[in-house]
């Protein structure tokens, strides 16, 4: 039995601060209907897809911060999306800000969920790589305070779903080889990634002209090196004065782009993804069992960054 997943990109244009959850959910539902009309079984939405990208603002008021978070999923505002998923038989990936309760304490995560074709949540992911900074940095044109507002997640899990093995990541995660490899080692066949990427990178403005290139480069490398499909979806366009990249795309295990959004608005695009195509890479060039040499990679988990040895160099001396 061939294993195909008709997967759709559910790219969003900007969400301004005054837009309500109800308005945004109506846009998500419209994209799901479009995707269903062309045969989608799964639609992937961006990171923090229910509100504007609020980490661009320094806020101290707890209630103001919490206003961007979801206490429950589904909620009254998001339920119509789950009901539509059930009615149409279209599963979805959705990024949102999660307000969790842990041992009586409030914990904030940048999260995503995977919902199956019956409208049931089957997996949750909490963003591991939180970019940006913790304190107010007024020299920036806009802030990127993910380190302030979110607690990092701790795991990259995979889920049997849509006839294959599905993994999730969020935005900055897509730039890290470890993200894909940890899921690759669990046999992942399709990695779903929502993102919000401002064109302007304050600490490195020389990257600005390359932001779309880096987006594609990282995801194509992740797909090829792990023999899996990668589906990356943007919230794009000018949001509260900040321009973010589009470039949502579906990448095959060969590393080739098979579908891409053209606009920076709400846009749907679809690809018929053959999950068995993963084996063409996972059983040959990237047959981990045959070719990996974990004994040579110990430093990957022993070190976080450049650690200086006793002689002041970061490199290990050969025995
Ligand atoms: N939302 C993100 O994680 N954005 C980062 C930006 C700050 C570079 C990204 O990696 O796209």
pLDDT in tens, 148-173: 999 999 999 999 999 999 999 999 99
Q: Is residue 302 part of a domain?
A: no
User: Dihedrals φ, ψ of 127, to 5°?
Assistant: -55, 130
- Does residue 215's CB lie within 6 angstroms of at least one atom of ligand 1? no
Residue 171 annotated in active site: yes
For 125, the domain range is: 4-293
Residues 6+ apart with CB under 8 A from 52: 14, 15, 16, 17, 19, 68, 239, 240
For 264-303, the pLDDT digits (tens) are 999 999 999 999 999 999 999 999 999 999 999 999 999 9
Report the C-alpha gap between 111 and 99 in whole angstroms: 10
Beta 257-260 vs 249-251: how paired, if at all?
Answer: antiparallel
The catalytic residue among 127, 235, 264, 278 is 127
Q: What is the CATH number of the domain that holds 184?
A: 3.60.110.10
Assess if residue 304 is contained within a domain: no
pLDDT at 317 over 80: no
User: Is residue 299 in some structural domain?
Assistant: no
Q: Label residue 206 by pLDDT band (50, 70, 90).
A: very high
Distance in Å, CA 170 to ligand 1 centroid: 9
Tell me whether residue 122 is in a domain.
Answer: yes
150 within domain boundaries: yes
pLDDT at 319: 64
Determine the Cα–Cα distance for residues 110 and 153; give it in Å rounded to an integer: 8
Ligand 1 atom having least distance to the Cα of 47:
1
DSSP string computed for 85-106: HHHHT-EEEEEEEEEEEETTEE
Question: How many H helices and E strands in the chain?
Answer: 9, 14
**Residue 306, domain member (yes or no):** no
More confidently predicted of 311 and 46: 46
Residue 316 lies in a domain: no
**Is residue 134 scored above 80 in pLDDT?**
yes
Question: How many structural domains is the chain composed of?
Answer: 1
Whole-number Å distance, alpha carbon 199 to ligand 1 midpoint, is 10
Two structure tokens written together for 117 = 């074709």
**Confidence band of 211 (pLDDT split at 50, 70, 90):** very high
For the chain, percent helix, then strand, then coil, each to nearest 5?
30, 30, 45
pTM: 0.98
Is residue 128, in this structure, part of any structural domain at all?
Answer: yes
């Amino acid at each position: 039995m061939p294993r195909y997943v008709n997967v759709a990109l559910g790219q969003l244009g900007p969400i301004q601060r005054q837009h309500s959850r109800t308005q945004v959910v109506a846009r998500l539902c419209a994209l799901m209907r479009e995707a269903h009309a062309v045969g989608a079984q799964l639609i992937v939405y961006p990171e923090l897809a229910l509100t504007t990208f609020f980490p661009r603002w320094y806020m101290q008021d707890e209630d103001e911060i919490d206003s961007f978070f979801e206490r429950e999923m589904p909620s009254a505002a998001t339920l119509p999306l789950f009901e539509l998923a059930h009615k149409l038989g279209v599963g979805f990936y959705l990024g949102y800000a999660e307000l969790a309760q842990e041992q009586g304490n409030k914990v904030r995560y940048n999260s995503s969920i995977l919902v199956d074709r019956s409208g049931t949540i089957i997996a949750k992911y909490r963003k591991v790589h939180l970019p940006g900074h913790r304190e107010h940095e007024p020299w920036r044109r806009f802030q990127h305070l993910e380190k302030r507002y979110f607690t990092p997640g701790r795991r990259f899990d995979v889920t049997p779903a849509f006839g294959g093995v599905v993994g999730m990541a969020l935005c900055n995660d897509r730039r890290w080889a470890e993200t894909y490899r940890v899921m690759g080692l669990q046999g992942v066949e399709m990695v779903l990634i929502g993102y919000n990427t401002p064109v302007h990178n304050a600490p490195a403005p020389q990257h600005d002209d390359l932001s779309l290139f880096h987006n594609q480069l990282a995801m194509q490398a992740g797909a090829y090196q792990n023999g899996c499909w990668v589906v990356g979806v943007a919230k794009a366009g000018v949001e509260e004065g900040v321009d973010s990249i589009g470039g949502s795309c579906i990448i095959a295990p060969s590393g080739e782009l098979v579908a891409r959004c053209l606009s920076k608005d709400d846009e749907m695009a679809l690809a018929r993804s053959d999950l068995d195509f993963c084996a063409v890479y996972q059983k040959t060039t990237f047959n981990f069992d045959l070719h990996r040499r974990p004994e040579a990679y110990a430093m990957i988990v022993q070190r976080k960054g450049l650690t200086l040895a006793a002689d002041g160099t970061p490199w290990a001396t050969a025995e």
